[in-house]
Amino acid sequence: MNILIVNAGSSSLKYQVIDIATEQCLVSGGIDCIGQEKSTVSHDLMGTPKKEYEATYKFDNHTQALNVVFELLVSKDFGVFTDISEIDAVGHRVLHTGVDFTGSVLINDETIAIMEKNIPLGPLHMPANIDCIKSCAKLLPGVPMVAVFDTAFHLTMPKHAYMYAIPYEDYEKYQVRRYGFHGTSHKYVTGVAMELLGGENKRIINCHLGNGSSISAVKDGKCQDTSMGLTPLEGLVMGTRSGDIDPACLEYLMDKKGFDIHQMLNYLNKESGFKGVSGVGSDGREVQAAAENGNERAQLVLEMSAYRVKKYIGAYTAALGGVDCIVFTGGIGENSYDTRERVLRGLEYLGLDMDWDKNKNCPRKQNVEISKPSSKVKVFVLPTNEELVIARETRDLI
């Protein structure tokens, strides 16, 4: 069974075709800068040798981008199908469950209407998700589609963890609460860690560190807390997001800089984090390189972000009543030994005994234990696979 995975961001689109019988990825691609002057389409046909296609287009919207994806999927040189009817199902990554869905759902008119109602909870991503759902329904009439939500894994959080301490009636009226994001990634690495650990009731802290970063506290496979909130702005220091900040800073800065609330949130979402503090940029590798070349603000933001992760690990260890395993995943978590070392140094008091050489020479794209075998708390580097989670849930629902 061939499952097309569609993962739309506010101005991007990632896709894969997965043969669910073998769980192999047949095609993987990405499109950036949708709605801007120039979009790059990268399309990789897996196999040996891998065939790579890259070209520049201009797309006004996600529907236009998807049309090109469908052309590529059946193209002579880079296609994986002779006919588009060989797609058996589509799995869409959708940002927000809201309070309406408790897990993945089959897509139909009724579930689309609920997603449309939830647009205010994710005003940048939800319209792109819904556009892609509607375009695929037109391009593939009758093919079953499933929505897999980024917030769903976190729905097991207890109420005392997901509530904000605002007047209760506003929580009830407007559903203002912590939802959390990166759920498919946290779910995937939780599954791998549980298999590696064996046994029951394991307490796992997952650090997903990438352009966007979040951390989750998981007990016996169920999420107990996570660092992102109503939106992905809360929590860790990220590529361009500030993460946690005193909300009173908003009024102070709006006054000083003459911002309205939209400008203020744009500043916290797009101009802060690695980019804002370092002045170098949002990309982890660039900031790392600048830090190694002596740039003090780059060094500072790396220290700030590692310190924030360390604080959350402490908090979540307390919340879970101890910790059995810490997981690193995401572009930075998987690839930056320096970040892992900054986070983990000093956590020996929890029962960590690290193999620092193994951390430094950790092979890429493999599940690796970087703590010593004798360590009471295991530390794993686990490559995430959000698309596979979406494919499995799509198969299970159809």
List residues with catalytic annotation: 150
In the shown chain, the binding pattern of residues 361 to 390 toward ligand ADP, with x for contact by CB under 6 A and - for none, equals: ------------------------------
Beta strands in the chain (DSSP E): 2-8, 13-19, 24-31, 39-45, 51-57, 89-94, 105-106, 145-149, 203-209, 213-219, 222-226, 325-329, 368-369, 378-381
Q: Total residues contacting ligand ADP (rule CB under 6 A)?
A: 13
Task: Tell me how far the alpha carbon of residue 268 is from its chain's centroid.
Answer: 18
Quote the least distance from Cβ 330 to ligand ADP, whole Å: 4
Residue 183 or 317 with smaller CB distance to ligand ADP: 183
With beta carbons less than 8 A apart as the criterion, state whether 184 and 164 touch: no
What angle in degrees, to the nearest 10, is found between the helix axes of 296-320 and 284-292? Answer: 120
The residue count for the chain: 398
Using omega within 30 degrees of 0 as the cis cutoff, is the peptide bond preceding 373 cis? no
Which 266-325 positions form the footprint of ligand ADP (CB under 6 A)?
A: 283-285, 288
> Is position 180 an interface residue for ligand ADP (rule: CB under 6 A)?
no
Q: Which of 212, 235, 243, 273 binds ligand ADP (CB under 6 A)?
A: 212
Choices 163-171, 173-181, 193-201, 209-217 (CB under 6 A): range interacting with ligand ADP: 209-217
Nearest to 153 by CA among 112, 117, 189: 189
Choices 145-153, 172-180, 329-337, 363-371 (CB under 6 A): range interacting with ligand ADP: 329-337
Our CA angle for 290, 294, 300, nearest 5°, is 75
The residue number with the shortest CB distance to ligand ADP is: 331
Per-residue tokens: 71: 């052309």
> Is position 91 an interface residue for ligand ADP (rule: CB under 6 A)?
no
Q: Concatenated DSSP letters for 110-139?
A: HHHHHHHHTGGGSTTHHHHHHHHHHHHHHH
> Is position 330 an interface residue for ligand ADP (rule: CB under 6 A)?
yes
Per-residue tokens: 241: 């997001």
Residue 183's alpha-carbon distances to 231, 244, 292, 344, 398, in angstroms, are 13, 19, 33, 23, 21
Per-residue tokens: 58: 């201009």
Q: Concatenated DSSP letters for 138-166?
A: HHSTT--EEEEETTGGGGGS-HHHH--SS
Quote the least distance from Cβ 141 to ligand ADP, whole Å: 32
Quote the least distance from Cβ 212 to ligand ADP, whole Å: 4
The CA-based dihedral angle spanning residues 164, 168, 173, 179, taken in that order and rounded to the nearest 10 degrees: 20
With beta carbons less than 8 A apart as the criterion, state whether 338 and 375 touch: no
> Is position 332 an interface residue for ligand ADP (rule: CB under 6 A)?
yes
* DSSP 8-state class, residue 224: E
Residue 104 or 288 with smaller CB distance to ligand ADP: 288
Alpha-carbon gap, residue 148 to 215, rounded angstroms: 20
Quote the least distance from Cβ 368 to ligand ADP, whole Å: 15
Quote the least distance from Cβ 75 to ligand ADP, whole Å: 26
Element (H, E) at 38: none
Which 214-243 positions form the footprint of ligand ADP (CB under 6 A)?
A: 239
Residue 162 or 181 with smaller CB distance to ligand ADP: 181
> Is position 118 an interface residue for ligand ADP (rule: CB under 6 A)?
no
Q: Which of 63, 211, 266, 295 binds ligand ADP (CB under 6 A)?
A: 211
Quote the least distance from Cβ 84 to ligand ADP, whole Å: 28
Quote the least distance from Cβ 258 to ligand ADP, whole Å: 31
Residue 118 or 184 with smaller CB distance to ligand ADP: 184
Choices 78-86, 208-216, 354-362, 373-381 (CB under 6 A): range interacting with ligand ADP: 208-216
Residue 70 or 328 with smaller CB distance to ligand ADP: 328
Residue 229 or 331 with smaller CB distance to ligand ADP: 331
Residue 272 or 288 with smaller CB distance to ligand ADP: 288
User: Which residue, chain included where needed, has tokens 């999420």?
Assistant: 223
Residue 235 or 284 with smaller CB distance to ligand ADP: 284
Residue ranges that bind ligand ADP, judged by CB under 6 A: 210-212, 239, 283-285, 288, 330-332, 335-336
